[in-house]
Amino acid sequence: MSDRTRRWLWAALFAGVAVAGALAMWGFTVDDALISIRYARHLAAGAGYRFNADGPSTDGVTPLPWPFLLAPLARAPALAVLARAKVLDVVLAAASAALVGRRAADERAPARVTALLAMAACLPLAAWGASGMETPLATLLATSCVFYIDRAPAAWLAGLAAAVRPELLPWAEVVACGASLARRDRPAAVMRAALFAGAPFAACAVTRRVVFGRFAPLAVLAKPSDLEHGALYAVAALLACALPLLLLAPGALRRVPGAYQAVAAAFAVHVLAVIAAGGDSMPYARLFVPVLPSVLLLHLQFARVAFCKFFWARSVATVALGASIAVVAGPRGRRVMSERAALMRAAEPVLRGDTRVAAVDIGWVSALEPERHVVDLAGLTDPEIAALPGGHTSKHVDGTMLLDRDVSAILLYVDPRPDAYAHAVGSHLARDPVVRSHYALRGVLPLGARAGYVVLGRY
């Protein structure tokens, strides 16, 4: 078998495993996917970059370019667009895996097999590989950067990844500058690498400043960072990913090429960046997924220099941890789409006739009626609410504000009892005297077996 054929076969095998994992988790998505889709549908319809068609243009999607990339797919109902976005994600995830497989083909059999098994056991890669979110795009760009780490375009690829996921900027700078230093480039070349890695991020920031009046995404204002939450998130996410166990090889790290040492350093810096950002509210370690294939590429490098017993110990522990997490946590994620579809069917008759609805989870609500105005109680798409005191789900919204916005129905998330409000903003609104005097219980919408939404309708 020729080297070319062998490389193609291993690339196809890794891609096939990635597709199988994504299809196994096809039922997973998050509410934010439908927020981006609503922006994309308005772009496709010529309404501009806005969440509500009758509202102002707002910076409600952290990966600024993503709705523009979805717009060609967005001339359809929201759930149909979501299905198209999920297909796109599977293709992108497969491309990332193929790059790892292409590199694995040049390594010894133990390295190839352990990398394949570790990737197959990684639940976050599978779940976000068919989520309908921008994560697989950021993953492909970051993986391409490490795959081409010895070439000049690596800095641009790193920068594009940071434009899609802003918390990747420190990672991109360390990878770009570290690889340039490993090549013993002149200081001017190192500076160029740093500029290339930061240019796409800077372009997004300037665009935001010109269009929306601030350099940072609106999510930074709506979800202020919390170091304690960020640290807890990082620890839990690193365990959920399992693949970072492969990096516990200090002896091997000292013997790999300098460019790959920079990749390892960038991973450590990314952990700190995620902590500084306050972590994330979404499941399955979303913020770490874009850099996971680069961990596998490092693993392949370690296999060349690591002592056999330590290499096998890390590999077996990683596969075992990943598989156990997938068995325990995977089934819940696979039910998200079906539970959300049942919720939407139940909500349609309850909210029929409501032209203005307020909620924290605005994605699925916005998918029910394309022209319905949705008031975002978390502030992710609403600058006025984002500027209020409080965190992501604890904004100090009151009943007077809802009346001023002519809200006819309020959706409050409960888990698991109808009177146990999961969000602080929901608990506050339920006790607000203005809400009590102008809204009454209309019904309870179940979400799965243990959660749901209380619907308060205006008199």
Task: Indicate if 247 and 379 belong to the same structural domain.
Answer: no
Distance from C-alpha of 123 to C-alpha of 119, rounded to nearest angstrom:
9
Same domain, 316 and 382: no
What number is the average pLDDT over the span 255-279? 96
Q: Is residue 259 part of a domain?
A: yes
Contact 199, 159 (CB under 8 A): yes
Tell me the HSE value of 62 on the side-chain side, using a 13 A CA sphere.
Answer: 23
| Per-residue pLDDT at 39 | 98
CATH label of the domain that carries residue 408:
3.40.190
* 254 has pLDDT over 90: yes
The answer to whether residue 235 is domain-embedded is: yes
SS3 452: strand
The tens digit of pLDDT for each residue in 401-454 reads: 999 999 999 999 998 766 688 899 999 999 999 999 999 999 999 998 889 999
Q: Could you check whether the bond before residue 136 is cis, i.e. omega within 30 degrees of 0?
A: no
CB 247 within 8 A of CB 119: no
In a domain, 115, yes or no: yes
54 and 134 together in one domain? yes
430 to each of 392, 393, 436, how far by Cα in Å? 18, 14, 7
pTM of the predicted structure, to 2 decimals:
0.96
Asked whether residue 215 falls in the same domain as residue 360, the answer is: no
Q: Are residues 399 and 317 in the same domain?
A: no
Residue 342 is assigned to a structural domain of this protein? no
Q: Which residue has the tokens 């950002």?
A: 277
Q: Let me know how long the chain is.
A: 459
Domain final residue pick, 291, 309, 334: 334
Residue 420 lies in a domain: yes
Total structural domains in the chain? 2
Q: Does residue 344 fall inside a structural domain?
A: no
Which pLDDT band, with edges at 50, 70 and 90, does 233 fall under?
very high
pLDDT in tens, 189-226: 999 999 999 999 999 999 999 999 999 999 999 988 88
145 and 13 in a common domain: yes
Question: In terms of domains, do 397 and 362 share one?
Answer: yes
Q: What domain range is 26 assigned to? A: 3-334
% of the chain with per-residue pLDDT over 70:
99
**311-334: per-residue pLDDT in tens?**
999 999 999 999 999 999 999 999
Note whether 16 and 324 are within 8 A (CB): no
Mean pLDDT over all residues of the chain?
95
Structure tokens at 377: 């109680």
Q: What is the pLDDT of residue 418?
A: 63
Q: Which of 282, 308, 334 is the last residue of a domain?
A: 334
Same structural domain, 327 and 355: no
Residues 355 and 227 in one domain: no
Q: Is 375 helix (H, G, I), strand (E, B) or coil?
A: strand
Which positions ≥6 away from 169 have C-beta within 8 Å?
Answer: 162, 197, 198, 201, 273
Q: What does the block give as tokens for 53? A: 């068609």
Is residue 445 within 8 A of residue 346, CB to CB? The reply is yes
Please indicate, yes or no, whether residues 422 and 314 belong to a single structural domain of this protein: no
